[in-house]
Amino acid sequence: MIATRLSLRDFRTYSSAEVRLGPGLTVITGRNGAGKTNLLEGIYFACTARSCRTSNEREVVRFGAELTRTELVCEDALGRHEVTVGFKPGETKRLRADGAVVENLVGTGARPLVSVFLPDRLELVLGAPALRRAHLDQVIAALWPGRSGTRRAYSAALAQRNALLASIRAGRASRASLPAWDAELARHGVALMADRAATVDNLRPRYAHHAQGLGLEGKVELRYKPRSEATSADELAAELAERLESDLERGFTGHGPHRDDLGFRREGRELRSYGSRGQQRLGLLALLLAEREELAAAHGAAPLLLLDDVMSELDATRRGRLVDLLRRDGQAVITTTELDHVPGGEEEDVTRIEIVDGRIETPTHA
Ligand SMILES: Nc1ncnc2c1ncn2[C@@H]1O[C@H](COP(=O)(O)OP(=O)(O)OP(=O)(O)O)[C@@H](O)[C@H]1O
């Protein structure tokens, strides 16, 4: 599935804009503040009806406008598809896929999956484990939509157990009902751990391959770091029971997959603590590329990759390697202040979009 044409109406800086995307690599250039990220966000919003930049979605509506509208035309072996999103803050979004009103755009088959890299996504490597867990669980949901319920079921059981711990502490409940909740939590917990382990196992060789291809030197490893070593629900329930006194002291459950982490290692050390900024960026890119490949294998089509300002902090060799990779397969859109930062960006197979004075000046066909 390829996204071919995007129309934006009152989206961020754009009162009205139309761009054509290439089937391979599209490069968006413009000076700082020109509206490059706005355009990338527009593509994401048109595909998902969500912003990749903010949870306060009213920000995407152009200053002074009441509502925004995006339209995305895509093509696959079955022909032409069209998805539209209408958004007026405070009201339910109006979504259409191939003319039919839909509640969400996931699973409509009318738009590509999207994977996005914004500079603040480096937090995935640098930030708290919760970010990495949430990301891993999103990958699981994208790979196996049927399994996304496991995480929700685990979170619900955890909230119940924590509420019960608080009641026991306050003397309002007895310990008698805890084993039943521990069993429930452990059942969903081992299922969640199994999904996470299987996903990281699948990603690991792809990650190492891409990290090496991008020039992240040395032995690199993507590691699932489960908090528990249990291999069955009974074992996890036993671990929970062992820690009951400290849980009661703290007032919450301190053990289980809600404390898991994902490690990005290079030469046996965490990139988060010992990697340079460029190496951390390469690690994250390798992960996104590995996920894209895994999703392509699972769904038969690679997600559309959106990369914002990814070239800064990469040296010329690594920029070249990244661009080679992006030109080889799948559809990708990248932003940069200078076309010179994209080696090969002048080539015929690369589509170029230039933003000058807030206007999209040179939408070119691939
Ligand atoms: N809802 C909105 N309506 C109008 N303008 C907006 C809106 N939201 C943001 N902007 C403007 O968009 C501009 C920033 O655009 P954008 O982030 O796309 O720049 P950029 O080209 O990616 O820049 P850089 O290279 O510095 O990252 C700012 O001038 C900001 O004021």
Residue nearest to atom 18 of ligand 1 (CA): 35
Per-residue pLDDT of the chain (366 residues; tens, 9 = 90+): 999 999 999 999 999 999 999 999 999 999 999 999 999 999 999 999 999 999 999 999 999 999 999 999 999 988 999 999 999 999 999 999 999 999 988 878 899 999 999 988 899 999 999 999 999 999 999 899 889 899 999 999 999 999 999 999 999 999 998 999 999 999 999 999 999 999 999 999 999 999 999 999 999 999 999 999 999 999 999 999 999 999 999 999 999 999 999 999 999 999 999 999 999 999 999 999 999 999 999 988 889 999 999 998 899 999 999 999 999 889 999 999 999 999 999 999 999 999 998 889 764 444
Q: Which atom of ligand 1 is nearest to the CA of 62?
A: 3
- On whether residue 335 sits in a domain, the answer given is yes
State if residue 51 touches ligand 1 by the CB under 6 angstroms criterion. no
State if residue 33 touches ligand 1 by the CB under 6 angstroms criterion. yes
Structure confidence at residue 362 (pLDDT): 64
- On whether residue 148 sits in a domain, the answer given is yes
- On whether residue 343 sits in a domain, the answer given is yes
- On whether residue 232 sits in a domain, the answer given is yes
Q: Which residue of 37, 41, 307, 357 sits with most ligand 1 atoms within 8 Å of its CB, as the best mutation to test the pocket? A: 37
State if residue 38 touches ligand 1 by the CB under 6 angstroms criterion. yes
Q: Which atom of ligand 1 is nearest to the CA of 34?
A: 21
Residue nearest to atom 27 of ligand 1 (CA): 32
Q: Are residues 178 and 105 in the same domain?
A: no
Structure confidence at residue 329 (pLDDT): 82
* 148 and 141 Cβ atoms separated by less than 8 Å: yes
Q: Are residues 133 and 108 in the same domain?
A: no
State how far the Cα of 235 lies from the Cα of 182, in Å rounded to an integer.
11
Q: Are residues 132 and 106 in the same domain?
A: no
Q: Are residues 207 and 244 in the same domain?
A: yes
Residue nearest to atom 13 of ligand 1 (CA): 33
State how far the Cα of 324 lies from the Cα of 332, in Å rounded to an integer.
12
Instruction: Give the Å distances, CA to CA, from 240 to 23, 60, 290.
Output: 51, 45, 34
- On whether residue 138 sits in a domain, the answer given is yes
- On whether residue 170 sits in a domain, the answer given is yes
Q: Are residues 259 and 309 in the same domain?
A: no
Q: Which residue of 13, 307, 361 sits with most ligand 1 atoms within 8 Å of its CB, as the best mutation to test the pocket? A: 13
Q: Are residues 308 and 260 in the same domain?
A: no
> Does pTM top 0.80 for this prediction?
yes
Q: Which atom of ligand 1 is nearest to the CA of 355?
A: 21
CATH of the domain at 239: 1.20.1050.90
State if residue 341 touches ligand 1 by the CB under 6 angstroms criterion. no
Structure confidence at residue 170 (pLDDT): 92
State how far the Cα of 333 lies from the Cα of 355, in Å rounded to an integer.
14
Q: Are residues 11 and 106 in the same domain?
A: yes
Q: Are residues 89 and 135 in the same domain?
A: no
State if residue 56 touches ligand 1 by the CB under 6 angstroms criterion. no
Structure confidence at residue 312 (pLDDT): 83
State if residue 59 touches ligand 1 by the CB under 6 angstroms criterion. yes
Q: How many residues does the chain have?
A: 366
Q: Which atom of ligand 1 is nearest to the CA of 35?
A: 18
Structural domain boundaries enclosing 242? 126-269
Q: Are residues 233 and 305 in the same domain?
A: no
Q: Which residue of 12, 40, 66, 312 sits with most ligand 1 atoms within 8 Å of its CB, as the best mutation to test the pocket? A: 12
- On whether residue 54 sits in a domain, the answer given is yes
CATH of the domain at 344: 3.40.50.300
> In sequence order, what are the residues at sequence separation of 6 or more whose Cβ sits closer than 8 angstroms to the Cβ of residue 32?
337
> In sequence order, what are the residues at sequence separation of 6 or more whose Cβ sits closer than 8 angstroms to the Cβ of residue 102?
95, 96, 108
State if residue 53 touches ligand 1 by the CB under 6 angstroms criterion. no
DSSP 8-state assignment for residue 343: T
Q: Give me 240's structure tokens.
A: 């929970």
Distance of CA 18 to the CA centre of its chain: 25
Q: Which helix (H) or strand (E) holds 319?
A: helix 316-328
State how far the Cα of 295 lies from the Cα of 301, in Å rounded to an integer.
7
Q: Are residues 90 and 22 in the same domain?
A: yes
DSSP 8-state assignment for residue 32: T
State how far the Cα of 320 lies from the Cα of 326, in Å rounded to an integer.
10
Task: Determine whether the annotation assigns residue 251 to a binding site.
Answer: no
Task: Determine whether the annotation assigns residue 32 to a binding site.
Answer: yes
State if residue 62 touches ligand 1 by the CB under 6 angstroms criterion. yes
In the chain, DSSP assigns E strands to 2-11, 14-20, 25-29, 68-76, 79-87, 94-97, 100-102, 114-117, 220-225, 261-266, 269-270, 304-307, 332-336, 351-356, 359-360
ipTM, 2 dp: 0.98
Residue ending a domain, among 221, 249, 269, is 269
Q: Are residues 135 and 83 in the same domain?
A: no
Q: How many Å lie between the centroid of ligand 1 and the Cα of residue 26?
A: 20
Count of domains for the chain:
2
Structure confidence at residue 75 (pLDDT): 96
State if residue 358 touches ligand 1 by the CB under 6 angstroms criterion. no
Task: Determine whether the annotation assigns residue 33 to a binding site.
Answer: yes
